[in-house]
A and B are shown apart, each in its own frame.
Chain A
Amino acid sequence: MTSIHARSWSSSMLASLAVMASSIAAGCGGPDVDSQPTDGAASDHPRVALIMKSLANEFFSTMADGAQQHQREHAERYELVVNGIKDERDLSRQVALVEEMVAAGVDAIVIAPADSKALVPALRRARDAGIVVVNIDNRLDKEVLEQEGIAIPFVGPDNRNGALAVAKSLEGKLATGDAIAVLEGIRTSFNGTQRRLGFEEAASGAGWEIVDSQSAQWEMSKANTIASSMLREHPEIKAILAANDSMALGAVAAAKATGRGGDLLIVGFDNISAVQDAIKEGRVLATADQHGDQLAVFGIEHALTLLDDPEAKVEDRETPVDVVTAETLR
């Protein structure tokens, strides 16, 4: 990444152009242009690198905004470098970003890993270089961490409990034995799996029958196609539980198209702004707010604590998840 330090408008523009050109030349596998330098480069402050997944995803851009807001308010405590990858599945680019940040000599890395296993070796090298590493959003795999012989603290919400809580908002609206369907995220994603498990736990607890469960890859249009098919194949479905809000909105459109707009119950996860309108209109019943804007901040604060006190115990920290319904939005 070329534009780590503050520089004049024109030269960073040139850098962006160069980055874009190289990204096109590399067949769209190049770096993201979302590198945001912070101003005021007093060198005695610790430098924290925030490495995100795709900054084109609302969830992560909100998270980055929250972190930058926090840095502006605490400019005397640390400097912040924010980087994201272009595509959530672009693992190799994220590994390269970690290496670049190590080479740039940052003091701490706060990372939302695009993959819970593949990033571990790169993060171990960062740790070997004496850098504090904090894991946010997507939890790194325990076994791989053990194999690599390192402990990295995780700061973030419990997605499984969050999904369980969202699903519980259906209680009282569904009867025992009622049919429900699940729209899963990408199967290799830890968060996606946790949310599915949370939904399943709620279903088995309340005695609902999951008649269909498919992955719609987190995407609205795919969810629309799949939910339409589910509703045709199983007209008895009374509720659709989607592992994120984009897929919930896709299910809303499917319900409308299959004439189920009035009675089908839909829940999502993430509390993106678009879903709030759908909740107010009664098309979506509930979603989960994991306070995305604060997630990176929690991670950064944890990293700063570890920097201040190298002897501090490395431990995980759970952040809150709240259920959002028409009631809470009022």
Chain B
Amino acid sequence: MKHQDVGETSPKRSVRQTTSSLLASSIPYVGMVAVLGVLVLIFGLMSRNFLSLTTLASLANQIPDLTVISVGMTLVLIVAGIDLSVGSVLALSSAVVGALMVDGGWPLWAAVPACLLAGAGCGCFNGVVSVYARIPSFIVTLGMLEIARGGAYLITDSRTKYIGSSVEWIGTPMPGLFVSPAFLLAVAIVVCGQLLLTRTVFGRYLVAIGTNAEAVRMAGIRSEPYAISVFAISGLLAGLGGVIQTSRLSSADPNAAVGLELAAIAACVIGGTSLAGGRGSIISTFFGVLMITVLQTGLAQVGASDPTKRIITGSVIVVAVLLDALRRNWGKAHD
């Protein structure tokens, strides 16, 4: 049951892999697909137009920013860290795009790299300080949460910047196609992230560091560069999330993404990523993102009241994690 999860590879795997690798690797997703299916079915029954292609298109339009941020978050959680700053870094990056394009008159192609750089810079700072000063990343990124939000207010003078049509194409469905460039990019990042994690030395080291950093050190591997680059990737992806959100809303909002870090962490945990490090899957995180977004959209579509929305969202997160834990224990018992 647990073959898919990185870091719990069983020696038998290589033998089985050839015969039933596809089947085996899809088993961990069955539970999540089932929960997703139930959610979609319920919303379909409760509303007039939930089961339609436009809903699907709109979901595809809404998920890219949370998706890329959750990919970064998964990597950070795997090395037993946490990045609380992603929401603020997204707002900061978005502010950079807005300020450069509206006040500075920069073209999009020049503003985007600057914005990604800002995101990666924040991430690097998180990584360097927490790794070299041995401060828990919880504290360092909590500091960055404040710093980046302050920076976003400073850059925009606390004003929403309306950019308009020059950024919209990134988040707008392409003609003839169902989805936006942002969606394709997010899917590509999920695939690359999963390959990075499961098929590269880099990925194996991340899992090793998260499982037992001391053992990694004993083995003569310097873990610092790996840990730092994970935070830098998370910052970079938060910057990308900023570009995506700015393009979807045609505006840069310094108040954007407050609390998004919690949605990203929830998506990771729903997907079975361990907060203690060493275990996680990016594909599963993607299912977590889908679940959270389907809930959000579905609850809005049936017109649920605000208290109901919160209670149901919270309950579904707990139930999803509970199911994952049960599945894991059952898997252990039958191995």
- Interface, chain A (partner B; CB < 8 A): 20, 23-24, 27-28, 55-58, 61, 187, 212, 214-215, 217, 219-221, 224-226, 228-230, 232-233, 235, 245-246, 249-250, 252-253, 256-258, 272-278, 281
Contact = CB atoms under 8 A, between A and B. Distances in A.
Contacts of B164: 277-278, 281
Given A28-B142, A220-B160, A233-B48, A56 B255 contact: yes
23 contacts: A23-B146, A28-B146, A56-B149, A58-B158, A61-B157, A61-B159, A215-B306, A220-B249, A220-B255, A226-B300, A229-B58, A229-B297, A229-B301, A232-B55, A233-B47, A253-B248, A256-B172, A256-B250, A257-B61, A257-B173, A274-B162, A275-B162, A281-B164
B49 A246 contact: no
A272 B156 CA distance: 13
A20 B159 CA distance: 22
Given A56-B254, A232-B49, A256-B250, A274 B297 contact: no
A220 B55 CA distance: 20
Interface in B41-60: 47-50, 52, 54-55, 58
Contacts of A55: 158
B194 interface: no
Contacts of A232: 49-50, 52, 54-55, 58, 301
Contacts of A257: 58, 61, 171-173, 248
Contacts of A24: 139, 142-143, 146
Interface in B141-169: 142-143, 145-146, 149, 153, 157-162, 164, 168
A221 B162 contact: no
Contacts of A258: 54, 58
Contacts of A57: 158, 255
Interface string B46-85: 0111101011001001100000000000000000000000
Contact of B303 (A61, A214, A281): A214
Contacts of A274: 159-162, 251
B158 A225 contact: no
Contacts of A214: 300, 303, 306
B256 interface: yes
Please list the 9 inter-chain residue pairs (A to B) with the smallest Cβ-Cβ separation, ordered nearest first.
A229-B300, A274-B162, A274-B160, A229-B301, A277-B162, A226-B300, A58-B159, A253-B249, A61-B158
Nearest to B84: A28
Interface residues of B, number: 47
A320 B306 CA distance: 32
Contact of A221 (B52, B161, B249): B249
A187 B310 CA distance: 14
A35 to B, nearest CB: 15
Contacts of B58: 228-229, 232, 257-258
A248 to B, nearest CB: 11
B245 interface: yes
A282 B153 CA distance: 28
Contacts of A219: 255, 258
A245 B253 CA distance: 12
B238 to A, nearest CB: 15
A236 to B, nearest CB: 11
A215 B308 CA distance: 12
A217 B256 CA distance: 12
B290 interface: no
Contacts of B297: 225, 228-229
Nearest to A257: B61
Contacts of A252: 250
Contacts of B245: 221
Nearest to B180: A257
Contacts of A256: 168, 172, 250
A216 to B, nearest CB: 9
Contact of B159 (A217, A225, A230, A272): A272
A233 B300 CA distance: 9
B257 interface: yes
Contact of B256 (A27, A212, A221, A225): A221
Given A232-B54, A257-B58, A221 B160 contact: no
B296 interface: yes
A23 B149 CA distance: 14
Contact of A56 (B153, B250, B251, B301): B153
- B149, B168, B249, B256 — which one has the most chain A CB atoms within 10 A of its CB? B249
A224 B249 contact: yes
Contact of A225 (B145, B296, B303): B296
Contacts of A187: 306
B149 to A, nearest CB: 8
Interface in B287-303: 296-298, 300-303
Given A233-B47, A233-B49, A246-B160, A221 B301 contact: no
